Every structure is written in C-alpha cells, then in structure tokens.
C-alpha cells in the first residue's frame, strides 16, 4: 500500500528555534519543511490506515508465525511477487502444499492452523519451518520468514534453518531498566570474541565473566554488536540475514534476555547495534528475493545494491518496509528490554551516493538537495519519533560521518531526532598524528580544534578508537604506539624501553583528553582500554578459519607481571572520576591554554582543571596555570598506572592574585613531560566563574 501525500502539512513547530540557533541554515528552510511534511504525512497515513503507530509497530506479533491464546497458529507474510505461499516443516512432514496461505490485499498472505484436539499447537516449539513461495516463473522457493525469531545452523550445513521459538516458559525479566543516564560511558562489545579462548563465546560467558568487568571499569553502558543474526561471522554482524532473530551462535534468546536483565541489575544500560542501512544478499537464509523478485523489501536493479558492501538496500518509501523496520525496533525494546540503539551506516542511508567517493567539507549545500535520500531520512525521523513516544527513556545514536546538521535535534525542529552522534573525526585525527608526525611536531591547536569542533547543542560521543581500528588491516592506538615491542617488552621484568614508555604514557593521555574534551559521551571498544595486543580477525578462509585473533585476552590485565594492568587501572579510575564529577553532562570545556612550543593544553570542565604536557622530554618546574587552591585527583604519572611518580600528591598549592588566561588567580605548578593531571579546585572564591 502506497502512502498518499497530503497537499497541506503543518510546518515543523520548533523550526524557528533551529534557525535562530544556526542562521546559516536559513537558506534551507524549505528543505526542513519538506522533510517534516514527508514525516508528518507518513504518520498521518499510519494513523488513518493502520490504527496508529502503536499498533503499526506491533506487527511482529501478527507477522511471521505466532501462537494464539487457544493454541492455534496464525501465520502472515508480505510477498507481493508470489503466485502462492505455503508453510512446510516438521509438523506436516515437509509437505509443501498441505498448508496454503490465503491471499489478502496489498501482497499479504495469511494462514490459520487450528490447535490439535488436545488444545496444543500443531507447530510445537523447536520444530523446523520454511515458507514455500511459488514464484512467478513457477519455481518453488524455500524461504525463512523475514519475521523469524530463531534460526540455527548445523555444523554440516552452509545455510541457516528456521526453528519455531515458543518455549512453554520464556525468560521473565526481574530487574527494571536503569534510569536514563546523564553521563554515558559506553563499552562497545562483541559477545562472540569476549573470551581469551579461541572459540565463539556465549551469552552466558558475557553475563557472568564480562559484565562484572565492565561494571568494575566504571562503564555504565554496553553497546552490543553482531546480535542480529548474520550468516557470515566475519562480517562483524553487518550482513544481517534475520532481523528479528538474536544470533544463535552465542546461545538462545532466553540467554540474551538473561544477559540484559543481569546488566540492568548492575545499573548498566544496554544498547543494540542495529543495522537498518542494508541487508545481506543471501536469499536461502536472508531477506533477498524472498518472494522471488529483487524488489521485495529492497529497491529493484542497481539502486538496490550497495557497490562496496555487496549487500541489498531497503526501499524506505515502501509501506511494508516501514512496518518491518519499525516493528523490528519495537521488538528488540519490548521483548529483550534493550535500552536503545546505535544505528549503523547512517551516512549510507542519508544520501543516494551512500557516501561512496564523497568527501564532506562542511559546506551546507552537501546536506540538502536531490542527493539526499529523504525517504531514508523520513524513516529515521519516524523511528526516533516512535521510540521517544513509546519509550522516552530509550537512547538513539547515529553513526554518521557526514556531519548532517540537525541530525541530533528533535523532530519537531525538523531534525533527525537522534540523541547522540559519533564524533568520527577524532579517531582519524589520532591516527593521522601518530602515523605522520614526530612528537615534537604535534599541533596543540589542531588537537583542540578536532576535539571541540562539534555542532552547538548536538551531543557527540567521543572515542579515541573503536572496533574499526581494531580490525585486521588497521591498528589500535597501542599497536601503533608500541608495535612489535608489545610482544617482548610488556613484562615488568624486562627493561622499560623508550618505545614502551612512550606508548603507555601517550595511550593514557590520548584517552583522557578525548574523554574529557571530545564530547558529551565516551566510547571504548572492549580490550582497547588496556592496549589489547595485535588485531581482530575473525575465522575465514584467508586465515585457515583460525580463532586466534577472534578473542579478547582479558587475562593479560590479571597478570601482575605485565604492564597491561597499568593501562587497565588508569581507564578504570578515569571513568570513576567522571562518574564522580560528571564532566560529560557538563557544558563544553573552557580551553585556557594550547601552547605550541611548550606542547601544553589546559582546560576547565565540571569544576576541574585538566593539564596535559605532550612534550616528549621537556618538564616544567614552575608552569603558571589559572587556578585557585588545588589538589591532584588523577595523575597519569602515578606508579599504579605505569608512570614515573614525579608528582607529590600530598602537597597543597595556593594561588596568588596574578591574572593568567582570563582568570584573576594563578599559581606555578610542576608538569612533567608526557603527563596528564586532573586538578580539583578547592576554596574557589564566591562569585568566580571557574
């Protein structure tokens, strides 16, 4: 069913506030109006034709195969290109024609299987099923329902099988979701690699071995990758085949529900890395050619294929695609109790060119015009509107490299409705600096600019590195800094070489300045907090299907003879300090110093003074900083963090009435080379703006 476009639509009610905040957007006012009009008309049509967004997004309870209260089984599919549809499986000895669906309007098909004489369902829990499609050319196609909740792959098979999941007693959540966080400290995670062992780890392992570690490190949010079922493990979860199924390679749906419940009991928010930007091109166990045509769920022809990812692209203007995707989000929230989403590949969604071969300079003309896929943008607006309307405590994050204005502003302003966006320029900047520049050539102004260059009143998630840098073909910060010496010189029994010393000190400084200056939230990929050695590489033909690099060696931090524990301890105390003072939820920092010759950066945030001396060898005995009386709260040079213990934490320092960097008082401090210090101001005079 196509959504009719109304002639008149209301304007974004709060658009004037957006344009007042950023006058440079004024020439594009009609673009915002058109986008909002498309959103409004979709919403209005859903209200008129589907009984509202609430009912529309609950379609996962009627589509697919669902058990009724009386034990009957109700089946429903959307297959507009099919000539006939049947259900086959263990329950009917795989007879492809005994259970035909009835054709409905708009390409839908339904089937009701009454309960048995004993009142029990004829399709029992754990039985295998297939939707049988008679294509337009007469071929019979055996397909997995797009709405399947559980799929498995036997070791001797290539493709996944659909298993009806309807246990007599499903997992019951015991703990409420945490309250919406003000400061978001995210631990980006992958369940399958979350073990030192060379195997696919389980939900149970993550629940009982990894969640306590995350809690101890001071992270209050876990972002789970590769949960939506994907046939190819090495795709890192980005080639989804079954959108409503939790990956069975880690365990059962109930195992995942328990994992999320235990996280909630620890006060940890759980986000799902949701992939609605594309889908696997698999047809035997994926969405592709579900009804025998290339246009079911996706654009037909070249427009429906991503050139670089070799995957299928959704048709976001299609009514049933909207139903499918919105219901998918609703299911993950309400069945599994996820607390929000990180939307992957948003840049690919926003533009018809998908960001391929396109650089973004920040010119506003790059974000408006015919090259913008406003159908995809409208879907994202609908998704965020639905989530905020039904579950206002949920969080949404956009992975967008383009920097589209207003993506993280409310829909009523004409924005995309996201809460946060990833600050994707920051890790690229650190890579460029470490790779191309000598330490003495680091540009303090350029570092500060990259960390603070974000849109006013749009929240950013800062990170020094993510899973992207950990993958084979790239390098983590630790590996770039220390490289081959990580294999030989990370033991405290070996001499502290210049390379290892430099790597450990800069690793801490880079992460702290990114954490404190780079945004309104912070993200770390699992293992990178302690400088996990080597790279991440999933089993594949090119590495002889080895799991050696598809694991996280958490045990390295527990060996007191290894220097990894220093980085781990610093990361923990950095997070604990943020938890105490809440700088991520505070207004942006006031940068008081970025001295090129001295390689010193100083800034104030949340009542704290952060001082960084990036100079490779120059320490400063009497360095003037703008501050009142202070005490040291965090010192990267502390011996507990693998530092050289050059600062005396018992000393109290008092300022003098000597104006410096627009502050009335200042004092002289000792700042060793390659050291970051966090100072708490005490006895601040009344009326000071510090």
Phi, psi of 566 (to 5 degrees): -65, -45
Average pLDDT over residues 271-284: 97
Query: Is the pLDDT confidence value at 686 over 70?
Result: no
Average pLDDT over residues 58-85: 97
Q: State residue 683's pLDDT score.
A: 61
Q: Tell me the C-alpha distance between 513 and 518, whole Å.
A: 7
Query: Is the pLDDT confidence value at 1 over 60?
Result: no
- pLDDT tens track for 551-603: 999 999 999 999 999 999 999 999 999 999 999 999 999 999 999 999 999 99
Q: Are 642 and 586 in contact (CB under 8 A)?
A: no
Average pLDDT over residues 452-464: 96
Average pLDDT over residues 98-115: 97
Q: Are 575 and 529 in contact (CB under 8 A)?
A: no
Position 651 confidence tier, pLDDT thresholds 50, 70, 90:
confident
Position 509 confidence tier, pLDDT thresholds 50, 70, 90:
very high
Average pLDDT over residues 503-515: 98
The residue to which tokens 């607006």 are assigned = 381
Q: Tell me the C-alpha distance between 422 and 184, whole Å.
A: 12
Q: Which of 261, 399, 529, 578 is catalytic?
A: 399
Q: State residue 631's pLDDT score.
A: 85
Q: Tell me the C-alpha distance between 606 and 590, whole Å.
A: 10
344 in active site: yes
Position 8 confidence tier, pLDDT thresholds 50, 70, 90:
low
3-state secondary structure of 523: strand
Query: Is the pLDDT confidence value at 495 over 90?
Result: yes
3-state secondary structure of 656: strand
Q: State residue 689's pLDDT score.
A: 42
β-pair partners for 78: 108
CA 191 to chain centre: 14
Average pLDDT over residues 318-329: 98
Measured torsion, CA atoms of residues 544, 549, 551, 553, in degrees rounded to the nearest 10:
140
Q: State residue 669's pLDDT score.
A: 83
β-pair partners for 221: 186, 269
Average pLDDT over residues 434-460: 96
3-state secondary structure of 308: coil
The conformational region for residue 605 under phi > 0 = left, psi -120 to 50 = alpha, else beta, is: beta
Q: State residue 628's pLDDT score.
A: 64
Q: Tell me the C-alpha distance between 655 and 675, whole Å.
A: 21
- pLDDT tens track for 386-421: 999 999 999 999 999 999 999 999 999 999 999 999
3-state secondary structure of 84: strand
In 3D space, the residue among 510, 522, 513 whose CA is nearest the CA of residue 459 turns out to be 522
Q: Tell me the C-alpha distance between 426 and 325, whole Å.
A: 31
Mean pLDDT, the chain, integer? 94
Query: Is the pLDDT confidence value at 2 over 50?
Result: no
Q: State residue 428's pLDDT score.
A: 94
428 in active site: no
Lowest mean pLDDT among 3-17, 108-122, 302-316, 579-593: 3-17
Strand order in 600-605's β-sheet?
Answer: 590-595, 600-605, 608-613, 675-682, 629-635
- pLDDT tens track for 517-530: 999 999 999 999 99
Using alpha carbons, list the distances in angstroms from residue 416 to 34, 405, 412.
13, 9, 9
Q: Tell me the C-alpha distance between 72 and 358, whole Å.
A: 53
Q: State residue 655's pLDDT score.
A: 74
Q: Are 584 and 184 in contact (CB under 8 A)?
A: yes
Q: Which of 285, 339, 344, 573 is catalytic?
A: 344
What is the share, in percent, of the chain residues with pLDDT greater than 70? 97
- pLDDT tens track for 172-185: 999 999 999 999 99
């Amino acid at each position: 069913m196509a959504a009719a476009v109304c002639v008149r639509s209301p304007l974004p009610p709060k658009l004037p506030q957006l344009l007042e905040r950023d006058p440079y957007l004024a020439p594009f006012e009609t673009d915002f109006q058109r986008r909002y009009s498309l959103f409004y008309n979709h919403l209005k049509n859903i209200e008129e034709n589907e009984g509202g967004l609430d009912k529309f997004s609950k379609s996962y309870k009627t589509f697919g195969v669902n058990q009724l209260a009386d034990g009957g089984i109700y089946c429903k599919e959307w297959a507009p290109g099919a000539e006939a549809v049947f259900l086959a499986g263990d329950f009917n000895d795989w007879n492809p024609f005994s259970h035909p669906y009835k054709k409905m309007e708009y390409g839908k098909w339904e089937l009701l299987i009454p309960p048995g004489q004993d009142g029990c369902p004829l399709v029992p829990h754990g039985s295998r099923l297939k939707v049988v499609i008679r294509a337009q050319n007469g071929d019979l196609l055996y397909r997995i329902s797009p709405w399947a909740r559980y799929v498995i792959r036997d070791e001797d098979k290539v493709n996944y099988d659909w298993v009806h999941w309807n246990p007599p007693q499903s997992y019951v959540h015991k703990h409420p979701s945490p309250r919406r966080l003000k400061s978001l400290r995210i631990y980006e995670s992958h369940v399958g690699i979350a073990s030192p062992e060379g195997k696919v780890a389980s939900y149970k392992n993550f629940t009982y071995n990894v969640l306590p570690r995350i809690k101890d490190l001071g992270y209050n949010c876990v972002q789970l990758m590769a949960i939506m079922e994907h046939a190819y493990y090495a795709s890192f979860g980005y080639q989804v085949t079954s959108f409503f199924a939790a990956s069975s390679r880690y365990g059962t749906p109930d195992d995942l529900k328990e994992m999320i419940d235990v996280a909630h009991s620890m006060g940890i928010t759980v986000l799902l890395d949701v992939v609605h930007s594309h889908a696997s091109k698999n047809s035997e166990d994926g969405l592709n050619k579900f009804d025998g045509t290339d246009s079911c769920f996706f654009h037909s022809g070249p427009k429906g294929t991503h050139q670089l990812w070799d995957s299928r692209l959704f048709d976001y203007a299609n009514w049933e695609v909207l139903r499918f995707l919105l219901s998918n989000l609703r299911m993950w929230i309400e069945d599994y109790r996820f607390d929000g989403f990180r939307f992957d590949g948003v840049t690919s969604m926003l533009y018809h060119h998908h960001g391929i071969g396109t650089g973004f300079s920040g010119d506003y003309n790059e974000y408006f015009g015919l090259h913008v896929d406003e159908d995809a943008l409208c879907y994202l607006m609908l998704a965020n509107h639905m989530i905020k309307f039904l579950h206002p405590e949920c969080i949404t994050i956009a992975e967008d490299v383009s920097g589209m204005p207003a993506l993280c502003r409310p829909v009523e302003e004409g924005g995309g409705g996201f809460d946060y966006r990833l600050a994707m320029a920051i890790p690229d900047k650190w890579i460029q600096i470490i790779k191309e520049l000598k330490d003495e050539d680091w540009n303090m102004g350029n570092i500060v600019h990259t960390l603070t260059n974000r849109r006013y009143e749009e929240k950013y998630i800062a990170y020094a590195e993510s899973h992207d840098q950990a993958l084979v073909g790239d390098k983590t910060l630790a590996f770039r800094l220390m490289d081959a010496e990580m294999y030989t010189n990370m033991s405290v029994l070996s001499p502290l070489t210049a390379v290892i010393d430099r790597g450990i000190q800069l690793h801490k400084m880079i992460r702290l300045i990114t954490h404190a200056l780079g945004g309104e939230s912070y993200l770390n990929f699992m293992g990178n907090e302690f400088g996990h050695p080597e790279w991440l590489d999933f089993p594949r033909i090119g590495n002889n299907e080895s799991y050696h690099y598809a694991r996280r060696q958490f045990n390295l931090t527990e060996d007191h003879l290894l220097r990894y524990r220093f980085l781990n301890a610093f990361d923990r105390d950095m997070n604990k300090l943020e938890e105490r003072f809440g700088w991520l939820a505070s207004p942006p920092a006031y940068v008081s110093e970025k001295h090129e010759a001295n390689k010193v950066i100083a800034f104030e945030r949340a009542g704290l003074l952060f001082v960084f001396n990036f100079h490779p060898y120059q320490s400063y005995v009497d360095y003037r900083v703008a501050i009142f009386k202070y005490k040291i709260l965090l010192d990267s040079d502390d011996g507990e963090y693998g530092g050289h213990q050059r600062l005396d934490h018992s000393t109290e320092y008092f300022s003098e009435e000597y104006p410096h960097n627009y502050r009335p008082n200042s004092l002289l401090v000792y700042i060793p080379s390659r050291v970051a210090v966090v100072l708490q101001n005490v006895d601040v005079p009344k009326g000071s703006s510090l």
